[in-house]
């Protein structure tokens, strides 16, 4: 998977036609063979753009920053990224007419060690679902049968005290830097409820209970919206297995809300944002 040339050509063309102000893509990080996001503001920098199977970061995250707000933006999206873009559009965070989306028919990306990322091995939507231009051959696989994440399955087998001890360790190692939240494309709130200084509802202190509070609240706000791009997990300086929280939510929602998968269908709202007669109501009475 190497679309470096095509993406450079597209970006150069867009700048030449005056269609965009900024192009969000990937560049080499300058010290090893991994890549970092780059925001390009003119045609002279287009040659820095690359795209290979090391293009991991979800660029939709940059649609919520100062550098792209109220500007015409070109960006590259893979399958999972396009799902989060879909949700951003549905939730009125960005205007479609301001975007030029280069979709990728993704064959899976690899981590620093060169192994295929876990979310790519179980990917159900590899082709970009939103795009102005699609690169690569669409796999046309349609929706795959849903498989519960193997890590979740292993954890579910364990007795409750053991599971609790495991998660206690996770929260203990959280340094509460909020890199997970800031790297998440769908965490776009201008002021996060966890950061409220005056409210005593959330614990502002950097303690284990504070980390528990913050991570649980965060994962529940993303329930039915998380697209499993794993930006949070890659951003975590302590390498915490944050996908466990999201995948658990995802499997519960898939089971109970008519096989709902976030952001696959354009205009489809999150599982908790719409009412359906088939929604489970046995917990009411």
Partner 1 sequence: MSVETFVTDKAGLHKFYEAVMASRETYAPVEKFGKFDFKRVTRLTECDPESPIATTQSIKPLFFPRSAKVMKYLATSAGTEVSEVDEDPLAVKRVILGAKHCDARSLQVLDKVYNWDYIDTDYQKRRENTVIISTRCDQAGTHCFCTSLDYDVENLDAMDVVIVNGADGKIYIKARTPKGENFLTELNTEYRILNIESQMSEEDKYGEMKKQYESFTGSFRLKMDYKEVNAKLSKIFDTPEFENVSGNCVSCNTCAFVCPTCHCFKISDEKVKDTGVRYKSYDSCNNGYFTLMAGGHNPRPVKYRRWRQRAMHKFVYYKERFGENLCVGCGKCTIACPVNISIFEVVNQVSSAAMQE
Sheet of strand 35-40: strand arrangement: 35-40, 22-28, 73-77, 99-104, 133-135
Q: Is 36 in the site for partner 1 (CB under 8 A)?
A: yes
CA distances from 205 to 169, 172, 175, 176, 220 (A): 18, 13, 11, 9, 20
The C-alpha atoms of residue 41 and residue 234 are separated, in whole angstroms, by 26
- Of 57-96, binders to partner 1 (CB under 8 A) are 57, 61-62, 65-67
Q: Nearest Cα to 22, choosing from 79, 87, 90, 69?
A: 69
- The token duo for 209 is 């209970």
Q: Is 240 in the site for partner 1 (CB under 8 A)?
A: yes
* Pick 78 or 260: Cβ nearer partner 1: 78
Q: Is 179 in the site for partner 1 (CB under 8 A)?
A: yes
Q: Is 195 in the site for partner 1 (CB under 8 A)?
A: yes
The C-alpha atoms of residue 23 and residue 12 are separated, in whole angstroms, by 10
Of 81-89, 93-101, 204-212, 267-275: span binding partner 1 (CB under 8 A): 204-212
Q: Is 278 in the site for partner 1 (CB under 8 A)?
A: no
116, 150 Cβ separation under 8 angstroms: no
Of 5-13, 95-103, 167-175, 255-263: span binding partner 1 (CB under 8 A): 167-175
Q: Is 199 in the site for partner 1 (CB under 8 A)?
A: no
- The token duo for 58 is 């979800």
* Pick 61 or 261: Cβ nearer partner 1: 61
Minimum Å gap between C-beta 211 and partner 1 is 10
Residues that bind partner 1 (CB under 8 A): 29-32, 34, 36-39, 57, 61-62, 65-67, 169-170, 173, 175-179, 181-183, 191, 195, 197, 200, 203-207, 210, 231, 234-235, 237-241
């Amino acid at each position: 998977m190497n679309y470096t040339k095509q993406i450079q050509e597209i970006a150069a063309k867009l700048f030449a036609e005056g269609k965009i102000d900024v192009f969000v893509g990937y560049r080499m990080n300058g010290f090893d063979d991994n890549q970092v996001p780059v925001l390009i503001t003119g045609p002279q920098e287009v040659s820095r753009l690359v795209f290979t199977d090391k293009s991991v970061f979800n660029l939709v995250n940059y649609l919520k920053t100062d550098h792209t707000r109220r500007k015409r933006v070109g960006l590259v999206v893979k399958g999972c990224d396009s799902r989060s873009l879909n949700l951003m559009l549905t939730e009125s965070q960005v205007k479609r007419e301001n975007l030029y989306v280069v979709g990728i028919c993704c064959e899976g990306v690899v981590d620093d060690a060169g192994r295929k990322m876990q979310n790519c091995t179980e990917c159900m939507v590899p082709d970009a679902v939103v795009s102005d231009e699609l690169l690569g051959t669409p796999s046309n696989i349609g929706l795959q049968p849903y498989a519960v994440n193997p890590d979740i399955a292993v954890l579910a087998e364990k007795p409750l005290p053991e599971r609790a001890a495991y998660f206690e360790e996770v929260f203990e190692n959280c340094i509460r830097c909020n890199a997970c939240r800031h790297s998440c494309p769908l965490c776009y709130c201008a002021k996060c409820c966890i950061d409220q200084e005056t409210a005593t509802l959330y614990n502002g202190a950097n303690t284990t209970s504070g980390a528990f509070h913050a991570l649980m609240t965060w994962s529940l706000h993303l329930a039915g919206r998380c697209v499993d791009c794993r930006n949070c997990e890659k951003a975590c300086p302590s390498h915490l297995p944050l996908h466990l929280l999201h995948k658990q939510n995802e499997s519960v929602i898939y089971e109970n809300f008519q096989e709902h998968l976030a952001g696959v269908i354009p205009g489809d709202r999150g599982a908790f944002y719409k009412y359906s007669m088939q929604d489970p109501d046995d917990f009411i009475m």
